[in-house]
Amino acid sequence: MTTTVRIIAGQWKGRKLEVPAQSRPTSSRAREALFSMLQDSVPGARFLDLYAGSGAVGLEAASRGASRVVLVEEDAEPLRRTLHRLGVAPESVLLLEGPDRGALRALRDAGEQFDLVFSDPPYALELSGEAGETLASLLAPGGVFILQRDSGTSAPELDGLTLVRRRDYGRNVLFLYAVSATRCGPLRGRPL
């Protein structure tokens, strides 16, 4: 039996997404809270979803009006089927298959920038400080990096990024980071 999650709001509200067997999808409660926090920032935003799994977070952003969404997932076949079933236009949602770090480097080298970057890596994966520099280089001015972890973890220190908010939702915690002021001057753009 295939496990599914539903898109909460927007043009694809109620549509089911296939969840890969080894995936741990972001709960509906955490997704709803995340998009409630970000609601004014999502329409027209460029959104990057790392370790996309079912694509629930990135496709929720697309459903709510993000102008461009990039999904990065190593096991991309279930996501590919979901995108086909939804009839998603490739110019609005791009699926990159492969390891997260390789995709980050490729996006950085291509000069891509995002307003919102979401990452829900495997809980066993430790983020290094230097990963923050790469993430910071992908954030547009005023952009936000959102990291989902198990509620028992503390916020990792990421070079080039400053923790600005922590929100706990049951077994999940969301850490919101902005580009460090020392890296780019005073923050400007969309408020958190």
Q: What is the pLDDT of residues 13-34, one digit of tens each?
A: 999 888 877 777 787 888 898 9
Domain CATH for 136:
3.40.50.150
Contact partners, residue 124, CB within 8 Å, separation at least 6: none
Q: What is the pLDDT of residues 124-169, one digit of tens each?
A: 566 665 677 888 899 999 999 999 988 888 888 888 899 999 998 8
Q: Does 138 reside within a domain?
A: yes
Q: Does 13 reside within a domain?
A: yes
Q: What is the pLDDT of residues 90-110, one digit of tens each?
A: 788 999 987 777 888 889 899
Q: Does 189 reside within a domain?
A: no
In three-state secondary structure terms, 69 is strand
Q: Does 192 reside within a domain?
A: no
* Boundaries of domain holding 67: 3-184
Residue 181, pLDDT score: 63
The C-alpha atoms of residue 40 and residue 36 are separated, in whole angstroms, by 9
Q: Which neighbouring-strand residues pair with 14?
A: none
Total residues found in the chain within this entry: 192
pLDDT level of residue 184 (50, 70, 90 thresholds) = very low
Domain count, the chain: 1
Structure tokens at 56: 């629930």
Q: Does 128 reside within a domain?
A: yes
Q: Does 89 reside within a domain?
A: yes
